[in-house]
Amino acid sequence: MSLETETAEVLERESDSKGFVFTRAGDAAPHMGRKQRGADEPGFDLHPAIMRGMAQMRDNTKGAAALTLFASEKTHVSYVWFKSGYPLPIHSHDTNCYYLVIAGAMKVGSEVLGKGDGVQIPAGAPYTVTPLDEGVEFLEIRESPDYDTHYRAKTDSYWDRVAETRRTRKPIWEEEKQPYGLVPVAGE
């Protein structure tokens, strides 16, 4: 009996393959931001500098791409590509997440992470990542079907610097290619 035949027999006899979910890179959906949890409740008040800053972030500079690869009741997996120097505003999420670098490099706090490196970021911890010279591609894995984002910077000057970095880097980003290209990004 061949190894392949015996393996197939064991799997047929002992495995319950129900529940397998296969994903395909071509089926990845653009990650869509949503309203912050509680935004529709009375008394919800988003800081004016954050509202203004978020409006500036909609300038279509194409410095980043995020695709949802998989979401279930217990897991959310995204592919993220930040181009070099992309200014991700300081923020936190309401669930733990783990980032695994596929290609390129990024700085998280004082740590530089390259291919194969990762970081667990606890729920509620404010952070940012700074992509280095060739940008960074990473997988983002969360312990929930979705997550909330809370931006932390509350000064107009902070958000103006984010917007200026985006404007300045736009011509560079137009020429930049994914360092690895694990999941092709449409329009790039």
Q: What is the CATH number of the domain that holds 102?
A: 2.60.120.10
Q: Which are the contacts of 183, defined by CB distance < 8 A and separation ≥ 6?
A: 25, 28, 67, 69, 79
**Could you tell me if residue 13 is inside a domain?**
no
**Could you tell me if residue 44 is inside a domain?**
no
**Could you tell me if residue 11 is inside a domain?**
no
Residue 183: CB atoms within 10 A of its CB come to 20
The alpha carbon dihedral of 7, 9, 14, 16 has a sign of: positive
**Could you tell me if residue 47 is inside a domain?**
no
State the residue range of the domain holding 123: 63-179
Q: What does pTM read for this prediction? A: 0.84
Q: Mean pLDDT over residues 72-91, rounded?
A: 94
**Could you tell me if residue 27 is inside a domain?**
no
**Could you tell me if residue 187 is inside a domain?**
no
Q: By C-alpha distance, which of 104, 124, 123 is closest to 114?
A: 104
**Could you tell me if residue 81 is inside a domain?**
yes
Per-residue pLDDT tens digits for 112-144: 999 999 999 999 999 999 999 999 999 999 988
Per-residue pLDDT tens digits for 174-188: 999 999 998 888 766
CA–CA distance, 39 with 84 (Å, rounded to integer):
32
**Could you tell me if residue 45 is inside a domain?**
no
Per the structure, how many domains does the chain have? Answer: 1
Q: Which are the contacts of 154, defined by CB distance < 8 A and separation ≥ 6?
A: 47, 49, 50
Question: What is the reported pLDDT for 96?
Answer: 94
